[in-house]
Amino acid sequence: MKVYLNLPERRRESVMKHAWLKSKKDLVTFIAGNQEIMTLLHIARAQNLPDCWICAGFLRTRIWDVQTGVVHSTPVHDVDLVYFDDRTIDYTFEQTVQARLRNQAPDYNWEVKNEARMHVHNPNTSPYLSSTDAIAKFPETVTSIGARLNAANRIELAAPHGVSDLLTLTVRPTPFTRVNKKRMDIYRNRILKKEWKKYWPDVNIVLD
């Protein structure tokens, strides 16, 4: 077992030795058994927002931690909650929900976005059709993941590019990102900024 001295108290084995999540079904099982994720999914559902998901980096981080045998959970910068309401686009309302979430779960930096307006932040992009359409057009496939609880308390996953890249720590641009130079520039800048290999040395990054 390796010990990474630049990350105190963090011990890992090779992802090939430790990973047990092999499929979407395994992923659902993992989420169902993770108290932290389930608590946040319940909180998210209680906001009664249309087409609402917890997505992106928080889920990716928790999944990569379990795949690589991280003992102490990697800190997350924020918890992304997205919803889709093209009839009421109100930034102030998003901020109100965000403040409420931060009050209900103050250990997390919640970020709330109505994806009906977020296409403007993705170069040369038409309005999204839904939250899952937006998730499909995130910069990298490993971030294109969402989870929610339905009314029957069943976990639903949004994984428009499948889960193989996510479970094997393979970072590559989404098809939507790959066909546009400006979007690829955003992708490459994120690779530099995120420093994923610092936390998960087994990450494999595809740059083009």
Intervals of the chain under pLDDT 50: 1-16
Within a domain: 12: no
CATH number at residue 195: 3.30.460.10
Predicted local confidence at residue 12, as pLDDT: 42
Predicted local confidence at residue 70, as pLDDT: 87
Within a domain: 9: no
What is the end-to-end Cα distance of the chain in Å, rounded?
Answer: 32
Within a domain: 2: no
pLDDT, tens digit, 9 for 90 and up, residues 136-184: 999 999 999 999 999 999 999 999 999 999 999 999 999 999 999 999 9
Predicted local confidence at residue 77, as pLDDT: 86
Within a domain: 139: yes
Within a domain: 10: no
Within a domain: 97: yes
Within a domain: 6: no
CA separation for the pair 202, 197 (Å, rounded)? 7
**In total, how many domains does the chain have?**
1
Within a domain: 173: yes
Dihedral angle over CA of 107, 133, 162, 203, nearest 10: -50
- Which residues have C-beta within 8 Å of that of residue 37, sequence separation ≥ 6? 31, 54, 59, 62, 147
Predicted local confidence at residue 18, as pLDDT: 65
Contact 146, 157 (CB under 8 A): yes
Predicted local confidence at residue 6, as pLDDT: 32
Domain range enclosing 34: 18-205
Predicted local confidence at residue 13, as pLDDT: 44
